[in-house]
Amino acid sequence: MEEMKIKNAYYIKLGERGIWAEDSISNGIIRIGWKNLFLTDINNGNWDSIKRITKKDFNDRNKKNGATQDYEALKRFCQATEEDVFITFYKGLMHWCILDHSPVEEDDRSKFRKTINGWSSISLNGSKKAFNSNDISGRISKTQAFQGTLCKYTEEETEIICRMINDIPNPKVADINDKKEEICGIITELIKDLQWKDCEILADLIFQQSGWHRVSMSGGSMEFMDMEYLDSINNERYIVQVKSGAKLTVFKEYEQKIKGREFKKLFFVVFHPDKSLELYQNERPDVDILFGDKLSELIFDLGLLNWVLKKSF
């Protein structure tokens, strides 16, 4: 899909405490307040009159500040075009929309404008992953605390929103990801040369750094496993078998030996797998074969790279 161009980005609160959020998002509209203003004044652009009425309304309510901000917010909303995007947050997601060319309308609930293709909480292209509020830059999500109806994002913040909607990664992030991929490739080669005892230690470090509690001695004389871990929250048992190197036939033999044994999941960890094991398509959901890129990414993400480097002379 063609990249969407965005000139301005606005945060909009859909009613006090988000009272109109569900209705607006479900029906592809943006509901607004300003019930004291005439619809004809708004659609005819009688902004001088609107400014006077807004200021009088604030004075009548003994509110000293906010009239100009309220007036500017309405004007921006009414004059928004297809180059402007509106952002709101609802049920843990960031939603966005573009207004169409139709004028402001009014029903028994409020004034509103229609959108083009409704609201969306995913990108236009690429992954189409939902915009979870917790995964979004604080520069964007901070507007959830905004007390007014509408505020404009800065030029830099608008650029972030534009990248998000078009699923275009931050160039700096993309550069880091490329470097990470290169480093993980090197890690994959380094761990192939680890001595078997170092393989067991590193595997143990991976699982313990992941937050699991080891309940068995690593290595030794335990039958059919090297380590056993417990997920304390779910009280589930995981077993780990570590190999410095292994062929598919070794894995198949081991798979037969553990039949009938109780465990949530088995992790078969191999630091230097044979090609036959690398090409194997595992279909068991209770068995995970860890090697290569998947193993090296865990080492990188869990901060174990320095440990590997010290062992790799």
Same structural domain for residues 152 and 294?
no
Whether the per-residue pLDDT at 251 is higher than 60: the answer is yes
Average pLDDT over residues 159-168: 93
Indicate which CATH number applies to the domain containing 49: 3.10.590
Mark which of 152, 168, 184 sits at the end of a domain. Answer: 168
Same structural domain for residues 144 and 201?
no
Distance of alpha carbon 57 from alpha carbon 37, whole angstroms: 10
Average pLDDT over residues 260-283: 90
The number of residues making up the chain comes to 313
* Number of structural domains in the chain: 2
What is the per-residue pLDDT for 218?
54
What is the per-residue pLDDT for 2?
75
Whether the per-residue pLDDT at 256 is higher than 90: the answer is no
Distance of alpha carbon 131 from alpha carbon 119, whole angstroms: 12
Which position has the token pair 């044994």?
261
23-34 residue pLDDT tens = 999 999 999 988
124-160 residue pLDDT tens = 876 777 899 999 999 999 998 888 889 999 999 999 9
Mark which of 133, 168, 203 sits at the end of a domain. Answer: 168
Whether 264 contacts 236, CB under 8 Å: yes
Name which of 190, 200, 218 is nearest 310 in CA terms.
190
Distance of alpha carbon 294 from alpha carbon 33, whole angstroms: 52
Same structural domain for residues 142 and 87?
yes
Same structural domain for residues 87 and 235?
no
Mark which of 139, 168, 197 sits at the end of a domain. Answer: 168
CB atoms within 10 A of CB 170: 14
pTM of structure: 0.74
What is the per-residue pLDDT for 120?
95
Same structural domain for residues 163 and 178?
no
Whether the per-residue pLDDT at 67 is higher than 50: the answer is yes
What is the per-residue pLDDT for 164?
93
Tell me which of 183 and 145 has the higher pLDDT.
183
pLDDT band, residue 4 (cuts 50/70/90): confident
